[in-house]
Amino acid sequence: MLRTIFLVAAALMAVILGAAWWLLIADSKAPETAPGLFAVEDWRALMPEDASTLPTEIRVLEVGRDKAPGFAARAGGFGTDWNTTYNSIQIVWPDRTLVIDGAVDADTAIGMKQSEADWAFDEPAYETLLAAMLAADQVLITHEHLDHVMAVARHPDPAALAPRLVLNAPQIAALAVFARGTLDPAIANLAPRLDGTVQLVAPGVVIVPAPGHTPGSQLVFIRTRDGRETLLIGDVAWSLDAVEMLTTRPVLTQYMIFDPNEDRAAVKAQLRALHDLMATNPDLIVIPAHDGNLIVGLIADGHLTEGFRN
Ligand SMILES: [Zn+2]
Ligand SMILES: [Zn+2]
């Protein structure tokens, strides 16, 4: 009898450990190679010859913040914290601006709260973002998830915003899903202005399609007037160490967070391509949208400027 109980307990333990391994660690490593996936030479070839047309600075506006365990952003990253930032990026020329991503509004931020102690939402910053979108020549998003679109989907003046929106077809199709509400017709009936190819959208700003995390995911490659190159990768990775360590999110996120699921194989291949791109281009600054520690460091270094210019 005792032996039977012991065997059943051991079998149960094996099942639990196996499930934990599968949910938290398995299937997270990037492949050995991802040749030709991100060809930076093609992006550079689109950049204007005249450096005086390039943007002068890249600014970041934090709308919300939170903290989650590091293993949520990188499988196996136990014992670390992931300081999560929700933000928007403003690319600045002397005579115009371009805004990337719509962050979260208060309702969405509350709904996503992870840490009672570290969560914060900055309502004045959100108001600044809404105004900056109407002052911008163009407004783009890295992808269609709820924490990147709210200032677009729930903008109080959709008719004024719509002509500025430069979105791709999958992003427009998914806005209603992730906005979790009824879209104004001016937003719902947008025509795509990105065609799914690598495209220069403004002098110094190249859009690079990267479907995987979502169908409409894309990278934003920026060259500023000082010659520096920056790559916004949205949520291909949630923290830069995931790229550096070639390890994506745990399988658990597929069940707890993503609906519909990511294309996990595509994301893993993109991690490999980004990792190799960083190795061969050590001066390239790669920025995952939610990596709070990285962004604080880039502000301190002067690579990013804190807050939006109005
Ligand atoms: Zn996302
Ligand atoms: Zn996100």
Sign for the CA dihedral angle at 155, 160, 164, 165 comes to positive
Residues with C-beta atoms within 5 A of ion ligand 2: 147, 235
256 CA distance to ligand 1 middle (Å): 13
104 CA distance to ligand 2 middle (Å): 9
Residue 162 within any structural domain of the chain: yes
- Ramachandran quadrant class, 307 (left: phi over 0; alpha: psi -120 to 50; beta: rest): left
The tally of domains found in the chain comes to: 1
Residue 15 within any structural domain of the chain: no
Q: Which residues contact 147 (CB under 8 A, 6 or more apart)?
A: 86, 103, 104, 108, 112, 290
Residue 217 within any structural domain of the chain: yes
In this prediction, residue 98 carries a pLDDT of 98
In this prediction, residue 203 carries a pLDDT of 98
Q: Residue 191, class by beta-carbon neighbours within 10 Å (0-12 exposed, 13-18 middle, 19+ buried)?
A: exposed
Total-model pTM: 0.95
Residue 277 within any structural domain of the chain: yes
In this prediction, residue 46 carries a pLDDT of 98
Instruction: Tell me the average confidence (pLDDT) per consecutive run of 10 residues in the chain, 310 residues long.
Output: 77 79 83 94 97 98 96 90 97 98 96 95 98 98 96 96 98 90 92 97 98 97 97 98 96 84 96 98 98 98 95
143 CA distance to ligand 1 middle (Å): 7
Residue 203 within any structural domain of the chain: yes
298 CA distance to ligand 2 middle (Å): 19
Measure the CA dihedral 239/267/199/167, to 10°: -80
Strand partners, 100: 89, 140
Bond preceding residue 203 cis, omega within 30 of 0: no
Residue 7 within any structural domain of the chain: no
145 CA distance to ligand 1 middle (Å): 5
Q: Where are the beta strands (DSSP E) in the chain?
A: 57-69, 81-93, 96-100, 120-121, 138-140, 199-202, 205-209, 218-223, 229-232, 285-287, 305-306
Compute the distance between CA of residue 14 and CA of residue 37 in angstroms, rounded to an integer: 39
Which residue range is the domain that position 181 belongs to?
A: 39-306
In this prediction, residue 199 carries a pLDDT of 97
In this prediction, residue 105 carries a pLDDT of 96
Residue 9 within any structural domain of the chain: no
In this prediction, residue 16 carries a pLDDT of 77
In this prediction, residue 100 carries a pLDDT of 98
148 CA distance to ligand 2 middle (Å): 6
CB-based contact 64:122 (threshold 8 Å): yes
264 CA distance to ligand 1 middle (Å): 13
Strand partners, 96: 93
In this prediction, residue 13 carries a pLDDT of 84
Residue 288 within any structural domain of the chain: yes
123 CA distance to ligand 1 middle (Å): 22
What CATH number has the domain bearing residue 89? 3.60.15.10
